A and B are shown apart, each in its own frame.
Chain A
Amino acid sequence: MMSVLFTSAVFGHDAEVPAGLGIVEKTGATIPPDILFHDENGATLKLGDIITKPTILSLVYLTCDHICPQVLGGLAVALPGLKMSPGKDYQLITISFDAHDDPATALQKKANYIKATGISFPKNAWKFLTGDRESVARITDAVGFSFQRDLHGFIHPVVLVFLSPRGVITGYHYVSRYQYGVEYPVTFSTAELNAGLAAASRGAVTLGATKPVLYCFTHQPVGQERFLNLLVVTGIVTLLSVAAFFIYLRMTSRRSG
């Protein structure tokens, strides 16, 4: 009994970010132009063919229900405030690193986040790409992004990558603020996004800041489920004994009511 009780205390946090997971900055490197991805409509395309203007690249998995939607939502509401005009001066590319994600899901997410911008945002200015394991491995290697499958999804860093029109990585923007109680808890400063895009359009490489990076992960310690099982068992035992008590009272009643 007590061993069950204490498991949560002993095992504790199992949500430490595993060593080696995160971002290794590859600023100045060029994205291999021949990586193949599917766009939202299922068409296959080469990354080099679509990176033709300053680009904000984000890496997420589409079934995430933790921080990824907050990041994309926060990004969407920041876009109307940018100086440059979307589709013409800059674009966004969101790539799923989960090889199980498909174009249909991507299409749905795209519609959702374009709507979240609240303006008539040109559809071709934000692409949602999905691809197979190999393509995912190549793009994540290229930007120095590592992730790991977890019980309920993935553990991964939360970051935006700025790319020049030639596919050079010009800078990283770490997401490090999370504000409780607002519609999109992850907020982006338009000034910082403007600066990142301006640098990307010039092809000017900026070295990463020393800000700590946020990670997306699920918090589900091992002991917690055992603890919940303990509650389920004691709850059911209580219910059964109460039901037995009622039946006993009815069965052996001196007079039926």
Chain B
Amino acid sequence: MTERTLDDKAPEESSFYDEKGKYSGVLAWLMSTDHKRIGLMYLGALLSFFSVGVTLGVLIRLSLIAPGAILTAQQYNEVFTVHGIVQIFLFIIPGIPVAFGNFFLPIMIGARDVAFPRLNRLTLWLYLAGAAIVLLSLFIKGAPPDTGWTFYAPYSIQTKANVSLAVFGVFVLGFSSIFTGLNFVTTIHRMRAPGMKWFRLPLFVWTLYATGWVQILATPVLAITLVFIVLGRVFGVGFFDPSKGGDPILYEHLFWVYSHPAVYIMVLPAMGIISEIMPTFSRRNIFGYKAIVFSALAIASVGYFVWGHHMFTSGMSDTARIVFSFITFLVAVPSGVKVFNWVATLYKGSIEVDSPLLFALSFIFLFSIGGLTGLIVGSLAPNLHVHGTYFIVAHFHYVMFGGVGFSFLAGLHYWFPKMFGRMFNEKIAKIGWFFFFIGFNVLYFSMFILGYQGMPRRYFEPPPQYHGWSVVSTVGSWLLAVGLIIIFSNLIRALFKGPSASSNPWGGGTLEWSIPSPPPAENFIEIPVVETGPYGHRERE
């Protein structure tokens, strides 16, 4: 990047934390339209929900090795449903775009804010409102939702649990997501600094762009589907009820038409973060910049046409199943391109194994396992064998948690100094990573084995022959929890006691590293003029 002179002026400016607005206290944050404050509020909310989701997950694992001792069967159903809803809809789908995207997208393209700052604030409010409604459904009269996070009809129409409210909460969250996508797409089109041509955009920005389109196009389908559930429950409209002319399979189609692209809403920005970290820590330019860009766009577009692979056993013609299976295989190609490019970026690089890189490398390893097992479940014959077993649970946790979760933590460590102006303890971060990584694999790899042996998912009391590996998996969940506690204690401690961070502690080449840590309120004193591609490197400071 150019405009190095900014660094010299930078220290004179106060950070956005010191900015005095119309309001003070909590309102100074809630009413703020500063993309950085909104990003941080999202980050706080996301991590709070993440901790709730993890706690429920550990509880599920505990219950599975001693069924009935901790949870009743009904409570177990509620806990795994709420675990899914919280982790999927409140943490991982909004996840990277709303936290890191909000904070860094404008900075990375050389802008002072997003295109629609007030719309951005509205998305935060909608997110908080949606989350509040979902949480309300757990505590008001009646039972918490017990349908699983997918709200499959006809059970979601019939159950007496508070499904309507939870579904309405997710509906509101959906609008938050659509507006975020709209805002980001417009921002990337309109707010780029002079000289920031499309192929000079950092790759994280490219993935946010692809994600934005998926959010705009796919999320309305979820919204309308959820409206149908509520209409069915409240007014008895039989969209999914065969006795009234509806069809429960239709629900599955509509749900997965959204929810499979949603996987790419989660994964694409995660890949963007990895594409930022690999060049910085190998001190090389990214290998195959355009290939990575086009593979992101390919994943975003082809990803719309694979939803049927969730329904191979639901009743579909053989032709449809073969086509869905084939397209599923096609999606693996651009993902493979990315993995090769990241690894090639390391080749002959001057690699610094700092914690962000450790998390990023773990992402590549775990995401590859998740992706390759995706090909197993995407082929018709093995799918019939492993459908509805722990193999599927293992597969999507490797993709979601091993992929997106590790990337989220990679991004959190990478950008922590920039966001908070403090450094964390690198050694403790690595120890935390070690427990987390080992625990993760013990927890979920044993599920692959269990699933392959045929252990059905969602069962309250698994058949006794699966007890051994179940115990291994549960021990893994403890190790993982210990890892997370270490990681977050380290970061929280750094918030208050960490040494000040320089403007560019890792030697990153993108624009956010050219401004002070934490950034000033307006990001740039003068809008930079960009003359080269994104990953020219600088010295660490």
Binding site for B on A (CB under 8 A): 5-6, 8-9, 11-14, 219, 221-224, 227, 231, 234-235, 238-239, 242, 245, 249-250, 253-255, 257
Contact = CB atoms under 8 A, between A and B. Distances in A.
A238 B220 contact: yes
Nearest to B236: A9
A9 B244 contact: yes
B237 interface: yes
B216 A242 contact: yes
Contacts of B220: 238
Nearest to B317: A65
Interface string B77-112: 000000000000000000000000000000000000
Nearest to B198: A257
Query: Max chain A CB contacts within 10 Å: which of B194, B197, B237, B243?
Result: B237
Contact of B237 (A5, A14, A221, A245): A5
B192 A8 contact: no
B312 interface: no
A227 B228 CA distance: 11
Contact of A224 (B189, B197, B213, B245): B245
Given A12-B238, A239-B217, A224 B247 contact: yes
Given A5-B237, A8-B238, A253-B189, A13 B194 contact: no
Contacts of B213: 242
25 contacts: A5-B231, A6-B237, A8-B237, A8-B238, A8-B246, A9-B236, A9-B237, A12-B245, A13-B243, A221-B245, A222-B245, A227-B246, A231-B224, A231-B254, A235-B221, A239-B217, A242-B213, A245-B216, A249-B186, A249-B189, A249-B190, A253-B189, A254-B190, A255-B194, A257-B198
A223 B231 CA distance: 16
B239 interface: yes
B191 to A, nearest CB: 9
B409 interface: no
B245 A9 contact: yes
Contacts, number: 62
B244 A8 contact: yes
Interface residues of B, number: 28
Contacts of A234: 224
A14 B243 CA distance: 10
B185 interface: yes
Contacts of A222: 245
B242 interface: yes
Contacts of B242: 13, 219
Given A249-B190, A257-B198, A224 B217 contact: no
User: 7 smallest A-B Cβ distances: which pairs?
Assistant: A221-B245, A257-B198, A8-B245, A249-B189, A223-B245, A9-B244, A9-B238
B23 to A, nearest CB: 32
B245 A257 contact: no
Interface string B494-537: 00000000000000000000000000000000000000000000
Nearest to B237: A9
Contacts of A14: 245
Contacts of A238: 217, 220
A238 B190 CA distance: 22
A144 B155 CA distance: 41
B294 to A, nearest CB: 15
